[in-house]
Amino acid sequence: MSASRILSEIKQTKPFASIEQETLVAFMKTADHLRRIHASAFELEDLTEQQFNVLRILRGAGKEGLPTLTVAERLIEQTPGITRLIDRLENKGLVRRDRPDQDRRQVYCLITKQGLDLLLKLDPEVERSAKKALRHLTKADMQNLQAILEKLRDVG
């Protein structure tokens, strides 16, 4: 068996102890590569990937918004600092918080018009970055990859 491509990419000369370790490192290297391509779509707007994800979630929630903890549950990449993340978006004028009269303990997060406008501006670039990142895959490849990724998440 010849040396794997991931070995040369990370400039490692010693083989991995197992195919599982090699696969995991290749997966992490690929995830980092895809994340960098995707992040380029919104970095110019001074947004992090997590901030963009919060805005995307709140746009999908509509006018009702979502409780802070529900936003945290829906994040692609989990973070313990959801309050700070919302704070930063609120300081930029992209989200606002409301406390309903019926339960003042609950805090709802809502996307502002400015946040919606920003996402509308970013939508075409986000789509371009997705197409760029996956340009070498066929639709069938992407469907197969999604099935494999679902299996990996099921292991949990």
- Residue range 34-61, pLDDT digits in tens: 988 988 888 889 999 999 999 999 999 9
Q: Looking at the predicted structure, is the pLDDT value of residue 156 above 70?
A: no
Helix 49-61 with 19-39: angle, nearest 10 deg: 70
Average pLDDT of the residues in 80-100: 92
Residue 26 burial by Cβ neighbours in a 10 Å radius (0-12, 13-18, 19+):
middle
Residue 20 CA to its chain's centroid (Å): 25
CATH 1.10.10.10 occupies which residues in the chain? 48-155
Q: What is the pLDDT of residues 54-63, one digit of tens each?
A: 999 999 999 9
The fold for domain 48-155 equals Arc Repressor Mutant, subunit A (1.10.10)
Q: What is the pLDDT of residues 96-110, one digit of tens each?
A: 999 877 776 788 999
Residues 6+ apart with CB under 8 A from 92: 46
